A = this chain, B = another copy of it.
Amino acid sequence: MSVQPALLPGDLAAASFSRFRSAAPLVHCLTNEVVQSFTANVLLALGASPAMVVEAEEAAQFAALADALLINIGTLHADRARAMLAAAETANGAGRPWVLDPVAVGGLHYRTRFARELLALRPAAIRGNASEIMALAGLDARGRGVDSADDSAAALPAARALAQCSGAVVAVTGAVDFVTDGERDYAVCGGDPLMTRVVGTGCALSAVVAAFAVQPDRLAAVATACRVMSLAGERACAAVRGPGSFVPAFLDALYALEVTDLQENVCETY
């Protein structure tokens, strides 16, 4: 296993984005209250279809009809937790991939217990920041400053271990994103620190990860989801004055993204 993961190749990213555009996946989002509108708009701008179906009975039914499922525990409460478990079980039964975004897992007991329960249902992919991935992997991330933008690399060993024990593709995102299946890794660069001043960029990325997780080469596809967001983010940031004007510019950039953009726009180094 290399210490320095390879950058996601542009041809893989372009092929994956092309497949995404053709498939226009329907993504069932069980996500937090704060980011639902932004998440839906990100998926729509990219050409996917979002649907938020939240009562346990119909969440279970809908998880088999949608192409993929997102479970984000940001504003977890008991009723939504029941819907999440029901939907994950249906998705598994129907062969639909589902993605876990373990928001703020670690210090908070209620959601940490629940995230472990979800983990046992074997998500297809997991997307979190360094502290979340380390906590979910069973490491104590507190006091180590892992929320800072530079520390996704420090969480890469935890991400690999989590991928190996869970079977999921794991994306640990930050200034550089690392995506691993436990055997192979990709690095994805791009983005902009301004994106951390806008609520929901990480949560919306997890929804995009779900939309890409339907593809057969899941590792490359999840890395492409990260690259789509980082590329649109850096393009948007180049043209705006702050986090307010970022949101419309980012959605416009996602909408304007072409397959050839993924081919051409690869960082040289990181």
Q: Is the interface of A mostly helix, strand, loop or mixed?
A: helix
Q: In whole angstroms, what is the CA distance A36 to B199 when docked?
A: 10
Chain B residues, CB < 8 A from A53? 75, 104, 108
Size category, A interface: 35 or more
Of B77, B110, B241, B256, the residue contacting A256 (CB under 8 A) is B241
Does A98 touch B at the CB level, under 8 Å? no
- Indicate whether A111 reaches chain B with its CB closer than 8 angstroms: yes
Give residues of chain A (184-209) contacting chain B, Cβ–Cβ below 8 Å: 196-200
Q: Which of A223-231, A243-251, A260-268 lines the interface with chain B? A: A243-251
Q: Confirm or deny: A11 has a beta carbon within 8 angstroms of a beta carbon on chain B.
A: no
Assuming the A-B contacts A58-B110, A241-B256, A256-B241, are A197 and B33 also in contact, with contact meaning beta carbons closer than 8 angstroms in the complex?
Answer: no
Identify the 3 closest CB pairs spanning chains A and B, nearest first.
A244-B251, A242-B252, A244-B248
Given contacts A33-B33, A79-B79, 10 further A-B contacts (CB under 8 A): A37-B38, A37-B199, A44-B196, A58-B108, A58-B109, A61-B109, A241-B255, A242-B255, A244-B255, A245-B248
List, sorted by A's number, 6 A–B pairs whose CB atoms are closer than 8 Å.
A40-B200, A44-B196, A54-B75, A58-B110, A79-B79, A240-B252
